[in-house]
Chain A
Amino acid sequence: MTIRRTLLAVACAAIAAVSVASAQDDATEKAIEKYRQMLKEDPWSNPGLLDADRGEALWTTPRGPKNVSLEQCDLGKGPGHVDGAFAELPRYFADADRVMDLETRILWCMEKLQGFDRADLVKKPYPGGGQPVKELGAMATYVANKSSGMKFAAKLDQPKEKEVVALGEALFFRRSAPFDFACATCHNASGLRIRLQGLPQLSSPEEARKVVGEWPAYRVSTTQVMTMQHRLYDCYWQMRMPQLELGSDVSVALISYLVSQARGGEIAAPGLKR
């Protein structure tokens, strides 16, 4: 979208007259970095915190056909424990017999504890342009924020967890659809861009540690919080694939792979993105 491009173009407006390609690349990178710093300088300027607050209210309010809150939702550290829970996800949950990331677990709790219909929840789970993040996403923002400042510490060492991480890695390199794209097409080398947007090398733990902890993130260009599941859905959209289902084995596996790559990296959620 032009808005997003324009935003970055603004950051680069200062570098108009350039003759040598490499000099231009350097100047462009510097301008983009300055823009990012400006966004980061005042952490309270992040509108995503409003969604974290909304998420907290939703979490503690009795809702759904069973009219209960999610305070008994077990995010892995026992029912009622939200602080630090995100830092240990994804993990295997015996009650569901499945490895789950944060959003998939919240989805499961909304279905099992509150009695919501899963099919309804996954039907249109992400907001349209300019709309705020939906309820599940707001709660994910709240829970992730309660691990902000901590480091990714998911063990992912159980056989089923290892299997899911390996699946995520295979999916990361798996090409598909008419453009032949895989995640690796854009995220398997360092220092590259799409147009002016820098691309992290997510197959590199060093780079993964820097960026994975920023999700969910508030995106300036769309004025809304985007969750990690939404991020992947949008990647597959761009890859010319159909609509990736929230909580699918593919999204859980890719998130597990990314978090395993980012182990030890700091969580700074909600992050702030272009």
Chain B
Amino acid sequence: MRATAVALLVLAASATPLLAQQSPAADPARADAAIKSAFPTAPADWQPRLTPDETMRQCSAYRNAPPTAIAEEIQRRERATIVYPPDGKVLGDWKKGEAIAQSGYGLRFTDYPPRSANGGNCYACHQITKQEVSYGTLGPSLLGYGKNRKFSEADTKAAYDKIYNSHAALPCSTMPRFGSNKILTIEQIKDLVALLMSPESPANK
């Protein structure tokens, strides 16, 4: 299950209202300092991984339940990072999408030098097709995703946005920002959109 472990697709969200205000908050600077010293073998080009960006900081501080003003700020900032294919067509090949959804490969310290393309590991968290029974439940079921949306163009574009940067739709989503963080390529994201939105996809059968 290690290879399949964590990652997701679309609409992940566990904005559980938590006890952010109740607990004795540790100084974030203390956590940053502890992190800096806890990974002494990290190469120079891995150092950025140790430092959260502003969106991560805000989501950590509010435990994924940011107040409205912060949520809107995150949404604006993250939406601005979305890049579309030059021809504007966001529907790729669902068969390739299925393979990307199955793969959890990529970006772990044992994945260098890369032996294959990164995966999206969508099944780790989402049900997508009836055929794959080994799926996680951290994210919502995506079975019938396109069919339920009547395969509309607007929803197809929205699916692209959510995979590219889930925070644009849902600030502090627990789903990785696959496009913005360069986990997946634009082509791969198009293939995942097809897995969700193509009438021929097993997700919609």
Contacts and interface: CB of A to CB of B under 8 A. Distances in A.
Are A and B interaction partners?
yes
Interface of A: 1-2, 4-5, 8-9, 12, 15-16, 18-19, 21, 24-25, 28, 162-163, 166-167, 169-171, 173-182, 184-186, 188-189, 191-197, 199, 203, 221, 234, 237-245, 248-251, 253, 274
Contacts of B124: 194-195
Assign chain B's interface to a size class: 35 or more
Nearest to B118: A178
A184 B64 contact: yes
Contacts of B190: none
Contacts of A188: 14, 16, 18, 63
Contacts of A178: 49, 107, 176, 181-183
A245 B41 CA distance: 8
B69 interface: no
Nearest to A18: B133
Given A178-B181, A180-B176, A237-B110, A170 B35 contact: no
Interface string B90-119: 000000000000000001111000000000
Contacts of A9: 134
B137 A192 contact: yes
A176 B60 CA distance: 9
Given A167-B30, A181-B6, A241-B49, A173 B136 contact: no
A101 B50 CA distance: 23
A239 B46 CA distance: 13
A209 to B, nearest CB: 18
Contacts of A186: 6, 138
9 closest cross-chain pairs (CB), A and B = A242-B42, A248-B38, A250-B38, A170-B26, A175-B56, A166-B26, A242-B39, A177-B49, A249-B34
A174 B25 CA distance: 12
B1 A244 contact: no
Between A5, A180, A196, the greatest number of chain B beta carbons within 10 A of the residue's beta carbon is seen for A180
Contact of A176 (B56, B64, B137): B56
Given A167-B31, A192-B138, A176 B4 contact: no
A182 to B, nearest CB: 6
B58 to A, nearest CB: 10
Contacts of A169: 23, 26
A12 B135 CA distance: 12
Contact of A179 (B127, B135, B183): B183
Nearest to A238: B5
Contact of A194 (B14, B55, B138): B138
A94 to B, nearest CB: 21
Contacts of B40: 245
A233 to B, nearest CB: 10
A5 B136 CA distance: 12
Nearest to B181: A178
Nearest to B27: A170
Given A166-B23, A245-B41, 11 more contacts: A18-B133, A28-B133, A166-B26, A167-B30, A171-B31, A180-B176, A188-B18, A244-B38, A245-B39, A249-B34, A249-B38
Contact of A5 (B1, B27, B28): B1
Contacts of A166: 23-26
Interface in B184-203: none
A211 B48 CA distance: 33
Nearest to A201: B16
B130 to A, nearest CB: 8
B7 A179 contact: yes
A5 B4 contact: yes
Contact of B34 (A203, A234, A250, A274): A250
